[in-house]
């Protein structure tokens, strides 16, 4: 079974934004950004830069023809800073030149004077100063105050989780072409073509039909190009619009790292109350989300944090407060998990603390509190079709939790320098955009007169295999060879008003839309066959392996022949369909409702070994039982799980974003920001597909897979702490991620 | 007069008069429109730009993987450059097949780089193992797959190729359709290319370029550059009596695989596996490492513990400076502007001596050390006869721990002694906080690595509990 995208990838034939051949006379853009985190712009002098040989124009905020605004949910983000700068790396000017090299050199000639203001980089400090993006959000049920009084044990604590750089291998970028009638066409590396179109229209002052956005594929997105691809596309668009030439803007890696937001760092206070036998009775938590300088998607991300406050467990009394704090860092943004991972980390830390206090293993508490069928979440939705326990017990049996514990204990008694640790990590992740209206998608299917098929949807291919899944859907319904089906670029003129490819839901939403459009065509063709060949209306027509069947007998008509016949008989061979997820709603005042179409479940066990001389460690294994529903693309789904796990491990271990107190990013290159390499991958990684699961709400009964497995990586943190405890049983360790070798060593030895 | 750079790219004969410091990455993408080679970082850290360079040696073409973002086009003269387009055939080759089957490519941006590294592995080795094949991918970052599928496909294809052959040769790989037919004619075509005339200059001297092209690739394009290239016939590592001479142009790969050095440092390959990645090691040189003067230089750390000498030359004026006296401040050294380093030399370890090297970084592989440390030690019944200690990441330059050495000389190794020595080390160092760790951490880490030397070398005498 050939996967077309992969076949092109391995030959180096896949085209990414930077690979398109551009017309002669194309100009190259380089972005001039703020070198301070907070301040007023007193003066800016671009005259030297404009005189630089090869420079065609330098664009400032005042040159923007439309509104200088790209904020998505909240309108608080200028495309180019005008009077004030709010973070290091904030774009101020665009230099257009004959080559990127010239543009970059010329940029150095821009003179700017600031009046520096004190930056805030810490979320709690921002909160103390009243710098909130939106008023506090509270999700709750039961009565925590009352419940704590009746708990056998109550633990309180604090967690910190760090930022995470997306590090999509392909940096942000776009190419903008002026089109006739003052329009613009943009080739963009964006997860959200419509959002990019809207942002470009706003800054250009054009109606949406004047701006076309086309996306071939992305060299990785992970959420980093959901909202934050817009700025670069809008800049390229403004440039092309003003100078009437094609403009290419591809961010060099260091500028990408410096100018774009990351996964939100969180700080949180938790309080958990349990019965003496480990039943969780109450949980109170306050999340301080470091949103950065603009809202971006922070508020939606904060909501997901609150949704996932209790991870995969049932808790009768919950109060979860979310504070989105405005700081002087680049606006933080979507990143695989979308606020969920921070919430789950916090809850697992609380369990760990409770377990220590009760003198039991964390797994005892985990197992006792897993979601059962129809348990109610604190926001009112019921855990339907819950596989929390099924996954846990399958994992426990399959991976022999007891044996792991024995092996680890034996190893630790026999070894003085190296210590092993393990941790279990159950997950539960809601599938749907938490903004209900976004749960819609469209598809446009053409059957060409030679029988080949072209499918356009709203989904953007970025490595998650959505194109292949859509191809499988169309091939299944028409029962034709996959080679006959092409998935087209994602283009706003073919499928309009799209939601971004995000929230793990692109295959579900667009797959369903494709299914509808294909079924619509199939029905049309069947009616045509009956009429044309004089079958009765009760005859059952079917397509099987490129042949037409009637009442299970081949009638000697091939797919291609059928299509030709239909074409000459003037049958409409194109169909458009729209899919909207049924039955979901959410009341944002009461914070109650059925926010998700369904949930994804699983349990992983992570084993690690720590070198207690050096503070270094290896992840020995990650083994998971995951609920994929009925997977219809195993290779893709397994790959998503494995890749997400690795990213989760990276977030918990080596991926450390460091800003200094002036708000300057110190880890602004691959030499200082380390993501997992092939050696840091777990020595063993095993992903088991939970049997007997299905999911009518997912495409072909499958379940969304993009994000959920990332959270298995959280187990790594606790496994490491367990290994450290084996070396220093008397010490209490902080819940501060990432747990870098530095933190390991300092925690082991610092008094 | 401009120099003409003449080489073969895939199956195509190329001559160009571009600035010799133009990177191969830009050249193939912009001039040749071969966009399979990707730009992910431009600093040698992602491997998306990996290409192969084949060079004539003893009538054979020897291929190595390199980062095209750090490779000057001039270095291609007389060589065979292979990009992903150059391994494509009508059907997918066995490597490409394995990647597709296992789903080892998701977004695909990293994929050509991985395949080039893997092809390089099969070309550069005679005997294959899956483990080594996987290790050859140490310079390639993939953000999508989590590597599991890449490992699976690598294992699969290694097994396949091993089954089918036991000796590496271009012919065999062509027969197995790993390589297209045109590879068979490359050796002959390369022989026909006339040598490159290097114009001596006083502007910028490029050796492996792994430092220069990260720091100042833009500036290089407007400079006169001279390339230090070693004739393949000259021997890079020479042993004379009890001295070892290493040519400054020797690459880290050559050091790592040196049979003559291995006799004296059995763990050599282990030490240098932590230096950059395979494509970096294939280019990075000893001389470049010394002049780079990075406080955490790994080669310099190794050499300092051997009390190595630096041999300098300017117009045949030779000068020898002990490496430990060479550095005078951050990126400052005892070298006149036009002096070049010709070689470094050191006394070979005594038979009853001990050597150890330690490096800790945030990520174990392809990362700059937070702290590194080496020790050379001669002892008799645990009494220290001679010792050299080096430490990186704890001072403005690669540090030789002279006070600690003085303290340790003639003393008997014991936990107590090490604890005292650790206090002296504390006084000798002045780490700063940066992206590689806080000053506090670096202090603690160096102490730990100092103990690690002894725990490793004298496990019967020194245990972890006794020193910490
Ligand atoms: C991704 C990556 C990873 C790296 N990892 C490591 C690592 O793990 N450990 C480590 O120590 N380093 C590392 N480095 C740094 C670098 O590779 C080394 O310092 C290398 O040894 C430099 O050698 P070069 O020949 O490439 O130097 P070049 O870039 O060619 O030159 C560096 C400087 O030395 C001068 N120079 C070179 N040779 C001579 C000579 N013979 N005489 C006088 N001057 C000379 C040049 O003019 C230049 O100023 C890494 C670099 C990269 C890009
Ligand atoms: S572009 Fe990343 S290593 Fe060359
Ligand atoms: S497949 Fe996307 S980076 Fe490797």
Whether A240 and A291 share a structural domain: no
CA A642 to chain centroid, in Å, comes to 15
- pLDDT value for B224: 87
Residues of B in contact with A751 (CB under 8 A): none
Whether A627 and A494 share a structural domain: no
Q: What is the CA radius of gyration of chain A?
A: 27
Q: How many CB atoms lie within 10 A of CB B202?
A: 9
- Is A515 catalytic? The answer is no
Of A169, A616, A678, the CB nearest to B107: A169
Whether A310 and A349 share a structural domain: yes
Domain end point (choices A250, A280, A308): A250
3-state secondary structure of A80: coil
CA distances (Å), origin B464, targets A386, A729, B164: 48, 16, 49
Residue B439 lies in a domain: yes
Q: Distance from B253 to chain A by nearest Cα, in Å?
A: 19
Asked if residue B3 has pLDDT above 80, the reply is: no
CA A492 to chain centroid, in Å, comes to 21
Distance CA A659, CA A123 (A): 13
- pLDDT value for B166: 57
Whether B130 and B173 share a structural domain: yes
Distance CA A229, CA B203 (A): 41
Contact B109 A219 (CB under 8 A): yes
Q: Distance from A189 to chain B by nearest Cα, in Å?
A: 12
Residue A712 lies in a domain: yes
For residue B345, give every residue at least 6 positions away whose Cβ sits within 8 Å of its Cβ, in sequence order, or none: B243, B244, B245, B246, B308, B309, B311
- pLDDT value for A258: 97
Residue B84 lies in a domain: yes
- pLDDT value for B195: 83
- The CB-side HSE value for B327 (13 A sphere, CA atoms) comes to 24
Whether A421 and A499 share a structural domain: no
**Mean pLDDT across chain A, nearest whole number?**
97
Atom of ligand 3 nearest to the CA of B104: 1
- pLDDT value for B1: 43
Whether B343 and B359 share a structural domain: no
Asked if residue A333 has pLDDT above 80, the reply is: yes
Q: How confident is the model at residue B122 (pLDDT cuts 50, 70, 90)?
A: very high
Of A14, A635, A670, the CB nearest to B43: A670
Distance CA B251, CA B261 (A): 14
Q: How many CB atoms lie within 10 A of CB A205?
A: 12
Q: How far is the CA of A398 from the centre of ligand 3 (A)?
A: 30
> DSSP string of A331-396?
PP---TTTTHHHHHHHHHHHHHHHHHHHTS-HHHHHHHHBPPTTPBPTTS-B-TT--HHHHHHHHH
Q: Is A7 on the interface with B (CB under 8 A)?
A: yes
Residues with CB under 6 A from ligand 3: A 169, 220, 463; B 105-111, 142-145
Residue A739 lies in a domain: yes
Residue A124 lies in a domain: no
Contact A3, A475 (CB under 8 A): no
- The CB-side HSE value for A172 (13 A sphere, CA atoms) comes to 33
Residue A415 lies in a domain: yes
For residue A234, give every residue at least 6 positions away whose Cβ sits within 8 Å of its Cβ, in sequence order, or none: A70, A79, A196, A199, A200, A202, A203, A204
Whether B83 and B9 share a structural domain: yes
Chain B's closest residue to A659, CA to CA, is B435
Whether B9 and B143 share a structural domain: yes
The tokens 């749960």 sit on which residue? Answer: A439
Residue B280 lies in a domain: no
| Residue B115 in tokens | 């395949």
User: pLDDT, tens digit, for every residue of A24-65?
Assistant: 999 999 999 999 999 999 999 999 999 999 999 999 999 999
Asked if residue A275 has pLDDT above 90, the reply is: yes
Whether B185 and B209 share a structural domain: no
Domain end point (choices B301, B321, B347): B347
Contact A666 B435 (CB under 8 A): yes
Whether B221 and B369 share a structural domain: no
- Which residue lies with its CA nearest to atom 4 of ligand 3? B142
Exposed e or buried b per residue across A217-249, where buried means at least 16 C-beta atoms within 10 angstroms of its C-beta: bbbbbbbbbbbbbbbbbbbbbbbbbbbebbbbb
| DSSP-derived pairing of the beta strands B60-67 and B50-57 | antiparallel
Domain end point (choices B324, B347, B370): B347
> DSSP string of A625-669?
EE--BS-S-HHHHHHHHHHHHHHHHHHHTT----B-TTS-BS--S
- The CB-side HSE value for B278 (13 A sphere, CA atoms) comes to 27
Distance CA A594, CA A587 (A): 9
Residue B279 lies in a domain: no
Contact A288, A323 (CB under 8 A): yes
Residue B164 lies in a domain: yes
Residue B197 lies in a domain: no
Q: What is the CA radius of gyration of chain B?
A: 23
- pLDDT value for A751: 82
Query: Residue A238, preceding bond cis, omega within 30 degrees?
Result: no
Q: How far is the CA of A153 from the centre of ligand 3 (A)?
A: 46
For residue A381, give every residue at least 6 positions away whose Cβ sits within 8 Å of its Cβ, in sequence order, or none: A430, A593, A594, A595, A596
- pLDDT value for A1: 55
User: pLDDT, tens digit, for every residue of A198-254?
Assistant: 999 999 999 999 999 999 999 999 999 999 999 999 999 999 999 999 999 999 999
The tokens 């060299």 sit on which residue? Answer: A219
Which of the following is catalytic: A145, A146, A707, A734? A707
Contact A656 B145 (CB under 8 A): no
For residue A360, give every residue at least 6 positions away whose Cβ sits within 8 Å of its Cβ, in sequence order, or none: A278
- pLDDT value for B229: 80
- pLDDT value for A3: 86
ipTM of the complex: 0.97
Whether A346 and A428 share a structural domain: yes
Whether A221 and A236 share a structural domain: yes
Residue B198 lies in a domain: no
Atom of ligand 1 nearest to the CA of B296: 11
Contact A168, A222 (CB under 8 A): yes
Q: How many CB atoms lie within 10 A of CB A366?
A: 24
| DSSP-derived pairing of the beta strands B237-240 and B243-247 | antiparallel
Residue A141 lies in a domain: no
Distance CA A502, CA B85 (A): 33
Whether B109 and B246 share a structural domain: no
Chain A's closest residue to B39, CA to CA, is A170
Chain A residues 278-317 with CB within 8 Å of chain B: none
Distance CA B362, CA B344 (A): 30
Atom of ligand 2 nearest to the CA of B41: 2
For residue B7, give every residue at least 6 positions away whose Cβ sits within 8 Å of its Cβ, in sequence order, or none: B14, B76, B77, B78, B79, B80, B81, B193
Whether A417 and A445 share a structural domain: no
H/E segment holding residue A40: strand A39-45
What is the average per-residue pLDDT within B4-27? 96
Q: For chain A, what is the total number of helices (H) and then of strands (E)?
A: 19, 30
* Ligand 2, pocket-test mutation among B23, B46, B366, most atoms within 8 A of CB: B46
Residues of B in contact with A670 (CB under 8 A): 40-41, 43, 45-46, 141
CATH code of the domain covering residue B151:
3.10.20.30
| Residue A371 in tokens | 């979601």
Distance CA A533, CA A97 (A): 64
CA A64 to chain centroid, in Å, comes to 31
Asked if residue B145 has pLDDT above 80, the reply is: yes
Whether B320 and B388 share a structural domain: no
Residue B278 lies in a domain: no
H/E segment holding residue A525: helix A506-533
Angle between the A340-358 and A714-727 helix axes, to the nearest 10 degrees?
A: 30
User: pLDDT, tens digit, for every residue of A508-564?
Assistant: 999 999 999 999 999 999 999 999 999 999 999 999 999 999 999 999 999 999 999
CATH code of the domain covering residue B417:
3.30.390.50
Whether A407 and A321 share a structural domain: yes
- Which residue lies with its CA nearest to atom 28 of ligand 1? B209
Residue A164 lies in a domain: no
User: pLDDT, tens digit, for every residue of B396-444?
Assistant: 999 999 999 999 999 999 999 999 999 999 999 999 999 999 999 999 9
User: pLDDT, tens digit, for every residue of B169-195?
Assistant: 899 999 999 999 999 999 999 999 988
A145 burial (CB, 10 Å; 0-12 / 13-18 / 19+) is exposed
Domain end point (choices B191, B223, B256): B191
Whether B313 and B169 share a structural domain: no
CATH code of the domain covering residue A202:
3.90.1170.50
Whether B178 and B224 share a structural domain: no
Contact A526, A726 (CB under 8 A): no
User: pLDDT, tens digit, for every residue of A620-671?
Assistant: 999 999 999 999 999 999 999 999 999 999 999 999 999 999 999 999 999 9
The tokens 């075509």 sit on which residue? Answer: B189
Chain A's closest residue to B47, CA to CA, is A169
User: pLDDT, tens digit, for every residue of A421-480?
Assistant: 999 999 999 999 999 999 999 999 999 999 999 999 999 999 999 999 999 999 999 999
For residue A95, give every residue at least 6 positions away whose Cβ sits within 8 Å of its Cβ, in sequence order, or none: A29, A30, A31, A32, A49, A55, A57, A58, A59, A103, A104, A106, A107, A110
Atom of ligand 1 nearest to the CA of B335: 43
Q: Distance from B434 to chain A by nearest Cα, in Å?
A: 8
Contact A745 B48 (CB under 8 A): no
CATH code of the domain covering residue A559:
3.30.365.10
Domain end point (choices A580, A602, A622): A580
| Residue A250 in tokens | 């591809």
Chain A residues 250-269 with CB within 8 Å of chain B: 252-253
Chain B's closest residue to A3, CA to CA, is B100
Contact A53, A102 (CB under 8 A): yes
**Segments forming the whole domain that contains residue A457:** 440-580
Whether A670 and A704 share a structural domain: yes
For residue B198, give every residue at least 6 positions away whose Cβ sits within 8 Å of its Cβ, in sequence order, or none: B226, B227, B229
Whether A329 and A475 share a structural domain: no
Domain end point (choices A223, A250, A277): A250
H/E segment holding residue B279: helix B278-281
Q: How many CB atoms lie within 10 A of CB B421?
A: 24
Whether A177 and A246 share a structural domain: yes
Ligand with minimal distance to B370 CA: 1
- Maximum C-alpha span of chain A: 89
What's the start-to-end Cα distance of chain A, in Å?
Answer: 59
Q: Is the pTM of this model over 0.90?
A: yes
Residue A447 lies in a domain: yes
**Segments forming the whole domain that contains residue B440:** 353-467
Q: Distance from A740 to chain B by nearest Cα, in Å?
A: 7
Whether B341 and B238 share a structural domain: yes
Whether A412 and A476 share a structural domain: no
User: pLDDT, tens digit, for every residue of A573-616?
Assistant: 999 999 999 999 999 999 999 999 999 999 999 999 999 999 99
| Residue B217 in tokens | 């690739």
Number of domains in chain B: 3
Chain A residues 89-128 with CB within 8 Å of chain B: 101, 104-105
Whether B24 and B161 share a structural domain: yes
Number of domains in chain A: 3
Residue A151 lies in a domain: no
Contact A8 B40 (CB under 8 A): no
| Residue A10 in tokens | 């391995």
Q: Distance from A123 to chain B by nearest Cα, in Å?
A: 21
- What percentage of residues in chain A have a pLDDT greater than 70? 100
H/E segment holding residue B102: helix B94-102
Contact B83 A12 (CB under 8 A): yes
CATH code of the domain covering residue B225:
3.30.465.10
């Amino acid at each position: 079974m050939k996967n077309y995208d992969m076949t092109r990838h391995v030959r180096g034939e896949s085209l990414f934004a930077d690979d398109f051949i551009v017309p002669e006379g194309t100009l190259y853009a380089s972005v001039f950004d703020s070198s301070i985190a907070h301040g007023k712009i007193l003066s800016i002098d671009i005259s030297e830069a404009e005189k630089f040989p090869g420079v065609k124009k330098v664009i400032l905020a005042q040159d923007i023809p439309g509104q200088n605004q790209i904020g998505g949910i909240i309108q608080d983000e200028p495309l180019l800073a005008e009077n004030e700068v709010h973070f290091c790396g904030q774009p101020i000017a665009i230099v257009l030149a004959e080559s990127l090299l010239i543009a970059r050199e010329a940029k150095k000639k821009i003179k700017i004077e600031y009046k520096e203001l004190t930056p805030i980089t810490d979320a709690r400090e921002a909160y103390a100063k009243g710098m909130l993006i939106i008023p506090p959000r509270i999700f709750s049920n039961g009565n925590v105050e009352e419940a704590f009084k009746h708990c056998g044990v109550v633990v309180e604590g604090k967690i910190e989780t760090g930022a995470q750089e997306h590090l999509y291998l392909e940096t942000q970028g776009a190419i903008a072409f002026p089109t006739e009638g003052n329009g613009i066409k943009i080739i963009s590396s964006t997860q959200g073509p419509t959002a990019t179109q809207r942002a470009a229209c706003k800054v250009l002052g054009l109606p949406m039909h004047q701006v076309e956005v086309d996306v071939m594929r992305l060299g990785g997105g992970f959420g980093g190009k959901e909202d934050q691809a817009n700025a670069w596309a809008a800049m390229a668009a403004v440039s092309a619009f003003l100078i009437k030439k094609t403009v290419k803007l591809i961010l060099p890696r260091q500028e990408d790292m410096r100018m774009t937001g990351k996964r939100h760092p969180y700080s949180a206070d938790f309080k958990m109350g349990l019965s003496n036998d480990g039943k969780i009775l109450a949980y109170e938590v306050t999340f301080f989300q470091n949103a950065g300088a603009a809202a971006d998607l922070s508020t939606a991300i904060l909501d997901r944090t609150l949704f996932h406050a209790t991870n995969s467990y049932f808790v009768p009394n919950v109060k979860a407060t979310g504070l989105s704090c405005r700081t002087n860092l680049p606006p933080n943004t979507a990143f695989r998990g979308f606020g969920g991972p921070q919430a789950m980390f916090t809850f697992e830390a609380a369990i760990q603390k409770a377990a220590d206090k009760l003198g039991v293993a964390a797994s005892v508490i985990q197992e006792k509190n897993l979601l059962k069928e129809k348990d109610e979440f604190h926001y009112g939705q019921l855990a339907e079709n819950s596989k929390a326990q099924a996954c846990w017990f399958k994992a426990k049996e399959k991976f022999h939790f007891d044996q792991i514990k024995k092996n680890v204990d034996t190893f630790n008694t026999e070894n003085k320098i190296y210590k092993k640790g393990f941790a279990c990590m159950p997950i539960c992740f809601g599938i749907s955009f938490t903004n209900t209206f976004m749960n819609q998608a469209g598809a446009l299917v053409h059957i060409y007169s030679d029988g080949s098929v072209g499918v356009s949807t709203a989904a953007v291919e970025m490595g998650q295999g959505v194109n292949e899944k859509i191809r499988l859907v169309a091939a299944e319904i028409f029962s034709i060879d996959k080679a006959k089906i092409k998935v087209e670029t994602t283009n706003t003129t073919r499928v309009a008003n799209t939601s971004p490819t995000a929230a793990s839901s692109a295959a579900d939403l667009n797959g369903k839309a494709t299914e509808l459009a294909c079924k619509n065509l199939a029905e049309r063709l069947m009616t045509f066959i009956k009429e044309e060949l004089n079958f009765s209306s009760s005859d059952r027509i079917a397509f099987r392996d490129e042949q037409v069947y009637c009442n299970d007998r081949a009638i000697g008509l091939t797919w291609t022949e059928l299509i030709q016949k239909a074409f000459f008989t003037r049958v409409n061979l194109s169909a458009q369909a729209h899919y909207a997820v049924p039955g979901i709603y959410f009341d944002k005042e009461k914070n109650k409702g059925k926010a998700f179409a369904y949930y994804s479940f699983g349990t992983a066990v992570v084993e690690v070994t720590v070198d207690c001389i050096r503070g270094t460690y290896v992840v020995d294994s990650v083994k998971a039982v995951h609920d994929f529903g009925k997977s219809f693309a195993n290779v893709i789904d397994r790959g998503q799980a494995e890749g997400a796990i690795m990213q989760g491990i990276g977030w918990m271990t080596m991926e450390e974003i460091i800003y200094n107190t002036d708000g300057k990013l110190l880890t602004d290159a691959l030499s200082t920001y380390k993501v997992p390499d092939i050696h840091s991958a777990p020595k063993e990684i095993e992903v088991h597909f939970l049997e007997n699961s299905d999911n009518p709400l997912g495409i072909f009964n499958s379940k969304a897979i993009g994000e959920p497995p990332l959270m298995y990586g959280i187990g790594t943190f606790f496994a490491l702490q367990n290994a450290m405890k084996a070396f220093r049983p008397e010490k209490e360790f902080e819940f501060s991620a990432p747990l870098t070798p530095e933190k390991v060593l300092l925690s082991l030895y610092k008094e | 007069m401009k120099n003409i750079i003449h080489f073969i790219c895939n199956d195509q004969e190329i001559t160009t008069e571009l600035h010799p410091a133009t990177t191969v990455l830009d050249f193939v993408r912009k001039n040749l429109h071969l966009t399979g080679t990707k730009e992910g970082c431009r600093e040698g850290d992602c491997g998306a730009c990996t290409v192969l360079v084949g060079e004539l040696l003893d009538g054979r073409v020897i291929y190595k993987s390199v980062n095209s973002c750090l490779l000057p086009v001039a270095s291609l003269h007389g060589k065979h450059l292979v990009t992903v387009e150059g391994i494509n055939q009508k059907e997918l080759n066995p490597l490409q097949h394995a990647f597709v089957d296992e789903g080892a490519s998701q977004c695909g941006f990293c994929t050509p780089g991985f395949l080039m590294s893997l092809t390089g592995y099969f070309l550069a080795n005679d005997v294959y193992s899956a483990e080594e094949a996987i290790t050859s991918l140490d310079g390639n970052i993939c953000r999508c797959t989590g590597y599991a599928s890449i490992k699976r496909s690598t294992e699969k294809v290694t097994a396949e190729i091993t089954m089918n052959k036991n000796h590496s040769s271009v012919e065999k790989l062509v027969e197995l359709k790993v390589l297209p037919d045109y590879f068979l004619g490359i050796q002959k075509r390369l022989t026909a290319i006339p040598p490159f005339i290097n114009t001596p200059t006083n502007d910028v001297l490029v050796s492996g370029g792994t430092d220069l092209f990260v720091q100042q690739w833009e500036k290089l394009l407007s400079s006169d550059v001279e390339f230090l290239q070693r004739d393949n016939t000259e021997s890079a590592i020479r042993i004379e009596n009890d001295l070892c001479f290493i040519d400054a142009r020797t690459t880290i790969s050559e050091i790592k695989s040196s049979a003559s050095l291995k006799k004296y440092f059995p763990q050599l390959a282990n030490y240098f596996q932590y230096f950059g990645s395979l494509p970096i090691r294939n280019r990075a040189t000893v001389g470049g490492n010394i002049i780079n003067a990075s406080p955490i230089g790994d080669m310099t750390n190794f050499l300092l513990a051997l009390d190595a000498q630096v041999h300098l030359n300017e117009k045949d004026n030779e000068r020898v400076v002990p490496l430990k006296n060479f550095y005078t401040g951050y990126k400052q050294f005892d070298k006149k502007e036009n002096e070049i380093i010709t070689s470094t030399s050191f006394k070979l370890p005594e038979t009853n001596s001990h050597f150890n090297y330690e490096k800790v970084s945030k990520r174990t592989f392809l990362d700059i050390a937070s702290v590194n440390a080496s020790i050379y030690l001669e002892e008799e019944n645990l009494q220290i006869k001679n010792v050299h200690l080096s430490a990186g990441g704890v001072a403005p330059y690669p540090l030789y721990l002279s006070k600690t050495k003085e303290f340790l000389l003639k003393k008997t190794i014991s936990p107590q002694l090490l604890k005292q020595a650790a206090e002296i080390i504390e006084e000798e160092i002045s780490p700063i906080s940066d992206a590689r760790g806080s000053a506090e951490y670096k202090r603690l880490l160096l102490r730990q690595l100092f103990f690690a030397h002894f725990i490793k070398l004298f496990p019967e005498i020194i245990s972890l509990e006794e020193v910490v």
